[in-house]
Structure 1
Amino acid sequence: MSVIKPALQQPELIAYFSGANNYCWLYFRNGEKKLLAKPISYLESQLPDFIRVHKTILINPAYIKSLDEPPHKKMAGKVHLDSGEVFPVSRRRWLQVVESLQNRSAGGSRVEKVNSSPEPYELPLTAQAYDSAGTSLFLITNDKEKAAQAELLIRDKWPTYPIHIGQNSAPLIELLKQLPEHEYPLLILLDARTQTAERLNTLQRLKEDSELSRIPVVLLVLPTEQLVINGYQRQANSVVSMPIGSPLFGHTIERICQFWLHIVSLPGSGRATK
């Protein structure tokens, strides 16, 4: 509370919050950051003037430079901060964000560009909403603590890559089949350490599909040789063995993302191999 209370008393010093489950990163406008043991919903209730642009991002509107309209209804919009950082604006929140910024503009606050759409955006007919095109990551895991850790890590180090987290891989195929090819995620992480049969079945279905098979899939399994073999037999792009509760989970996810997002060339990413 020694960090939270002073921060809430001086919201003008805050740029934004990046949250995952019961934790949040607090980013100050001077570049400093602090980890808070509070969910983003709590901070949103304490700072009603701040704008929730995404389920994991709460922004000080005074720090917003411009807002880009989604290219079409299945894609997210974008919010640009004065610092140059860019975050997705989820389709469910788009109209609310636009209205909030337009009200601030009418009151004399500066926002360079706000493009709104007169029609609401439809959600995919799936268990999860999909908010970004061609830059997102999917993590399927039953370990909520590790999921939160991975989400905080990726929000911190790769804020322009939205991460979508689920516990069940079964709806994943149908979700991806609804999307045009340019909206496929850059990477799928399947944690098969507990739900092994389901994850292996999803992996096999992904790799047997002529369109979805190009999406890189990293499979996490328990450290047994047979599970590693099973993963490669089903054409996983990489298989990583790790015991449940491993303290190296966050470090491993960071190294995986560093490789797949910054070293290799991915279809549609426009990057050459470094």
Structure 2
Amino acid sequence: MSVIKPALQHPELIAYFSGANNYCWLYFRNGEKKLLAKPISYLESQLPDFIRVHKTVLINPAYVKSLDEPPHKKMSGKVHLDSGEVFPVSRRRWLQVVESLLKHSTKDSREEPLDTQSEAMSTPLDGQSQEPAVASVFLVTSDQERASLAEQSLRGKWPSYHIHIAQESTFLPEILSQLPESEYPLLIILDARTQTTERLNTLQRLKSDSQLSRIPVVLMVLPTEQLVINGYQKQANSVVSMPNGSILFENTIERICQFWLHIVRLPGSSRSGN
């Protein structure tokens, strides 16, 4: 108990747990490890924010670097940690893991859109939903204060749309790949003024996927010529340059949505932004 109690009080120091019968290895983020006389199920009950990716592995979602989607329906996926460890994600846990990572990285001021999204991801891909698809927009930005203001503005102008605000984009391709095409977002806005490498990698992965590539992606970058060039080289549908902290952020987001949701006719959709 001398190890378990302090560890549970400071979960941010933990990378993952690896279970073995009634014992469990605790791996700290600094590389240290301790053997605990507790089963992994006990640790899972004490750390509800941690994610059970496999019957023997419980991970800290803040320590996850990326996910590999299962190559086939009957195969496992993979989760990569910041330190380089790779663990299988069991088939039956895959959707649950993706949902948990989405909840960890996404901040939505209303619970209803997140619940709706979760239900959509739990629907069998070959099943028939009884509810009509809901139009949605994903905005990924680290500027949460202005994102919240932009969200209020968008909800007022397009009340029938679900506006999803996320701080990270790492898992966005995996999340979207679990949805039927009818529930893809109509627009993705990636704010690459910060976390530029992550946003560009996400853009590249979205555009390299034969299904996800049709979703319009607008990239926001700092006002330098090279960043604009990089955005178009990664196949962004449009690139908008703007300095950090700009008071025009909300207005720019609204104008982007006005163009893509109202003026442009999107493939497979007859919905109007009005």
Shorter-chain TM-score: what band? 0.5 to 0.7
Aligned to 1:217: 217
* 1:244 partner SS: coil
| C-alpha contact 1:88 1:162 (8 A) present in aligned 2 | no
2:234 corresponds to: 234
**Amino acid in structure 2 at the alignment position of 1:262:** H
Structure 2 residue 188 is the aligned partner of structure 1 residue 179: no
Distance 1:91 1:222, change over 3 A: closer
Listed as ranges, the gaps of 5+ residues in structure 1 are: 1-86, 94-119, 126-130
Q: Where do 5+ consecutive residues of structure 2 fail to align?
A: 1-109, 124-130
In structure 2, C-alpha distance between the alignment counterparts of 1:121 and 1:240, rounded to whole Å: 33
Q: Where do 4+ consecutive residues of structure 1 move more than 2 Å?
A: 87-93, 120-125, 131-134
Q: Distance in 1 between matches of 2:209 and 2:159?
A: 30
Instruction: For 1:136 and 1:153, locate their aligned partners in 2 and report how far apart those are by CA, in whole Å.
Output: 15
- Tell me the secondary structure at the aligned position of residue 200 of structure 1: helix
Q: Say whether 1:137 aligns with 2:133.
A: no
Shift of 1:147: 1.1
Distance 1:121 1:229, change over 3 A: closer
Q: Which residue of 1 aligns with 2:94?
A: none
Structure 2 distance, partners of 1:234, 1:213, is 11
Distance 2:166 2:202 in 1: 13
Aligned length: 156
Q: Which has the higher helix share?
A: 2
Match of 1:109 in 2: none
Shift of the alpha carbon at 1:268?
A: 2.3
Give the C-alpha shift of residue 90 in structure 1: 4.7
Identity within the alignment, % = 67
Change (3 A) 1:121 1:197: closer
Q: Aligned letter for 2:136?
A: S
Given that 2:146 and 2:249 are in contact with CA atoms closer than 8 Å, whether structure 1 keeps it comes out as yes
8 Å contact kept, 1:124–1:175: no
Q: Quickly say closer, same or farther: Cα 1:124–1:267, change in 2 above 3 A.
A: same
Q: 1:225 to 1:260 in 2, by over 3 A?
A: same
